[in-house]
Structure 1
Amino acid sequence: MAAENTMVIAGAGIAGVHAAESLRAEGYQGRVVLMDRDRQMPYDRPPLSKEWLTDDTDEASMLLRDPEIYGKLDIELKLGVEVNDIDPVRKTITAKDGSSYDWEKLLLATGSKLRTLSIAGDDLQGIFYLRRMADAVAMKQHMQHVNEVVIIGAGFIGAELASSLRKLGIDVTIVERSSYPMEAVVGRDISASLLNLHDRHGVNVILNDSVVQFNGESTVEEAITAEGRRLPCQAVMIGVGATPNTVVSHPQLEAEGGYAVNEFGETSIPDIYAAGDCTLWPYRGTPIRVEHWDHAVNHARTVAQNMLQPRSTPYTYTPYFWSDQHGSRFQYFGHAKQWSKTVLRGSLESHAFTNFYLDDQNRVQAAFIANQPKNALPVRRMIKQQKVIDPEALADETIALKKVPQKSVMNNT
């Protein structure tokens, strides 16, 4: 089939798979090529730190789609294909194995890659980064004879791993270099509340320290910290964040901090689009990057529509992510690098609350919800509408969220 009837998607993760499906759902009849460097069928990554580790799911149920779906939708799934080069003039994409594909439109859905650490002894067995299914399989096999685990990093991945391991009865120590993990995202009070939750479930959290050495014969037996702590362990899990995977590069492709795209998913090169974790996209005029399942799905679907009908559907998504820890469900809506004030609805002690992040005009920019899922819809509406909120009414649980007084900015001036 000619290149003018071919859509190529680089990356078969959450974004890539949903983009391919959306092309078909929108009626595209041409060739759809979905490629990935991984040799395994496309799978869902979030459960790797949750259900997979605790035996609540199996490998087959981790797949994003039944393998037969790709054939039914006439999606050419090319696994084990690592992209080597793109030529935007000839509109070709080349893999390291020498294979080459022509395209009408190209979508980069390459996801993110883990940050790694260089620590003495990090070549010992039993030290893991959790990104791919192969990592999770090796980790799960190793964990069968483990009693003590050290986790480096108290972000959401580290916290979820700690929760899963405690469910298995394993002793867990988290080592975190900051005083309040994720303070820049959720604020100090919420960070302290999360730390308290882990403490109540038997997780030993060490703050203001870092691991500088691993000891052991062939398998890790001990982690040494900068402050001189000696932490016995039979496994180490490292979760210190991720960076956008911009391995597919070209001099004309703007990719500092992620592939820079406009509201339609277009990159700096015509007919090349990008979606999901690998992108830097405009949220209310500010370029941001979001590494979460919900964004990957919705961004991919929107960008697929624009690949077929250019600039037809702007992406107006409100960022959202969730995390399950020790039986609690946490949800975060919006995006706020800074805020003028916070308003707490509920109590931190009950672990059932909603914390709002307001700007200087008392408009809700973001909200962190703990075990109050019913608040999700009104919170999302407040963030989208950007109306001025009465802070006192917002904190008053006797007033339903949907009835909290609001007014437009214009009426407030």
Structure 2
Amino acid sequence: MPHVNTTIIIGAGIAGVHAAESLRNEGYQGQIMLMDRDSQMPYDRPPLSKEWMKEESDNANILLRNPAIYEKLDIDLKLGVEVTGIDSQRKTLDTKDGSSYEWEKIILATGTSLRTLALVGDDLRGIFYLRKMDDAVAIRDHMQHVKQAVIIGAGFIGAELASTLSEMGIDVTIVERSSYPMENIVGRQASAYFLDLHKRHGVQVITEDAVTQFHGEGKVEEAITAEGRRIPCQAVMIGVGVIPNTEVSVSQLEIDQGYVVNAYGETSVSDIYAAGDCTSWPYQGASIHIEHWDHAVNHAKTVAKNIIHPQSAPYTYTPYFWSDQYHVRFQYFGHAKEWSKTVLRGSAETDAFTIFYLDAQDIVQAAFLANQPKHALPARRLIQQQKPIDTQALADVNIALKKVPRLQGESNTSV
């Protein structure tokens, strides 16, 4: 028989660490094993593209927890351990080093991996992906002698890197395939603002083009695009998205853009849960997949509660993420794959505005905030209430957001 109440958490990133900590803080008395194939102490990834890259934060400051916390909470932290197989019938777990562990519950918190490109010359020195601490260390060391850098991909990681490198005095060029970066997430209006923001800070942004090869003698010296542009550079950062890590699996486990879980974090296999970026989870009647720090934390905490008290705490989280670029703090609440209209509150010219995304019934589905943190709470409430709203009042900066009239009409399924 397995150790009484043994829970094994696979992945010691944001979700895994918070799941382990929450289990103990919620009163879990059993054994907790926190495994990760990385050999470094669990650390926070977002600062790697911002404060840490500019040497405004040291290694100790980006650790998710002081190492002493794991011992204090009696969490068995197993680093440099790669899981190779799970037997859901015998309830055993095998690792690459030949060890085998028994379990009663498993939490899959395996996170995501970077999408990669296969380009001519991509083996030259000075070409990087940013995912792990080792990547960040290599980039920061290399940047000491870089004057020109190319960033492939204008997603949030690429945009944050562009902001960071530009503030370090490096000439930055972003190359993006689409006409408007992240338009499918934030819409044309916000996307155009992103482009203008970077251009105002001296970043060259090339859209509707793609890097196809690199030239250099041992190290990168030039990036060449499909349209024939030749961009001098001594460093290249590639940020073209991520994919969920779902290689740790069993045959009955349902996977669709991540491990599919219900409102309690349960997978399709009994006693196996999943949390964070590696999951697809129910939100407003649909199954969605997102990769946000805030989601990873809250999802992990909810899963921990449901392991202790099964199906006691449905996950009712409103998606949220943020991004810091130059002097602007961006915040995004909700989740809208499509919308019928947008409402602008404020002015993009002042770098302080909010864009609301509404459906055909004038119900707010999402909100994008630029330098307006005071709108965070009322915007989240508008999304959670799922009631039709007066759009003219919503756009009027003279009416407090919390006082914008709700209209009569049927609401959608609440979050």
Which range, TM-score by smaller chain? over 0.9
CA distance in 2, matches of 1:148, 1:332: 31
Please name the residue that 2:264 is paired with. Answer: 264
CA distance in 1, matches of 2:387, 2:285: 18
Please name the residue that 1:162 is paired with. Answer: 162
- How far residue 411 of structure 1 moved from its aligned partner, in angstroms, is 9.2
Please name the residue that 2:358 is paired with. Answer: 358
Please name the residue that 1:248 is paired with. Answer: 248
1:401 aligns with 2:397: no
Please name the residue that 1:100 is paired with. Answer: 100
Q: TM-score, normalised by structure 1?
A: 0.98
Please name the residue that 1:188 is paired with. Answer: 188
1:17 aligns with 2:17: yes
- Offset from partner CA, 1:54-78 (integer Å, 9 cap, x none): 1110111110000000000000000
CA distance in 2, matches of 1:83, 1:369: 40
Determine if contact 2:343/2:395 at 8 Å carries over to the other structure. Answer: yes
CA distance in 2, matches of 1:4, 1:275: 22
AA in 2 matched with 1:384: Q
Determine if contact 2:388/2:406 at 8 Å carries over to the other structure. Answer: yes
CA distance in 2, matches of 1:103, 1:391: 53
RMSD of equivalent CA atoms: 1.2
AA in 2 matched with 1:343: V
- Offset from partner CA, 1:175-228 (integer Å, 9 cap, x none): 000000000111111100110000000000000000000111111111000000
Partner-residue secondary structure (3-state), 1:312: coil
Aligned residue runs from structure 1 range 333-352, under 5 A: 333-352=333-352
1:282 aligns with 2:282: yes
Partner-residue secondary structure (3-state), 1:16: helix
CA distance in 1, matches of 2:63, 2:410: 49
CA distance in 2, matches of 1:235, 1:49: 15
- How far residue 256 of structure 1 moved from its aligned partner, in angstroms, is 2.6
- How far residue 99 of structure 1 moved from its aligned partner, in angstroms, is 1.3
Please name the residue that 1:201 is paired with. Answer: 201
- How far residue 255 of structure 1 moved from its aligned partner, in angstroms, is 1.4
AA in 1 matched with 2:104: E
AA in 2 matched with 1:234: Q
Determine if contact 2:334/2:365 at 8 Å carries over to the other structure. Answer: yes
Aligned residue runs from structure 1 range 3-402, under 5 A: 3-402=3-402
Partner-residue secondary structure (3-state), 2:287: strand
AA in 2 matched with 1:292: H
CA distance in 1, matches of 2:239, 2:52: 17
Partner-residue secondary structure (3-state), 1:5: coil
**Structure 1 runs of 4+ off > 4 angstroms?**
none
- Offset from partner CA, 1:331-359 (integer Å, 9 cap, x none): 00000000011000001111110000001
CA distance in 2, matches of 1:215, 1:222: 5
CA distance in 1, matches of 2:2, 2:110: 25
AA in 1 matched with 2:80: G
- How far residue 285 of structure 1 moved from its aligned partner, in angstroms, is 1.3
CA distance in 2, matches of 1:247, 1:411: 39
- How far residue 293 of structure 1 moved from its aligned partner, in angstroms, is 0.5
Partner-residue secondary structure (3-state), 1:30: coil
Q: 1:217 to 1:7 in 2, by over 3 A?
A: same
Determine if contact 2:113/2:243 at 8 Å carries over to the other structure. Answer: yes
Partner-residue secondary structure (3-state), 2:316: coil
CA distance in 2, matches of 1:257, 1:402: 36
- How far residue 320 of structure 1 moved from its aligned partner, in angstroms, is 0.2
- How far residue 312 of structure 1 moved from its aligned partner, in angstroms, is 0.5
Determine if contact 2:4/2:31 at 8 Å carries over to the other structure. Answer: no
Partner-residue secondary structure (3-state), 1:388: coil
Structure 2 unmatched runs, 5+: none
Partner-residue secondary structure (3-state), 1:4: coil
Alignment coverage as a number of residue pairs: 412
- How far residue 409 of structure 1 moved from its aligned partner, in angstroms, is 2.6
AA in 2 matched with 1:231: I
CA distance in 2, matches of 1:209, 1:386: 39
Partner-residue secondary structure (3-state), 1:71: helix
CA distance in 2, matches of 1:43, 1:146: 27
CA distance in 1, matches of 2:345, 2:380: 15
AA in 1 matched with 2:45: R
Identity of aligned residues (%): 71
AA in 2 matched with 1:373: P
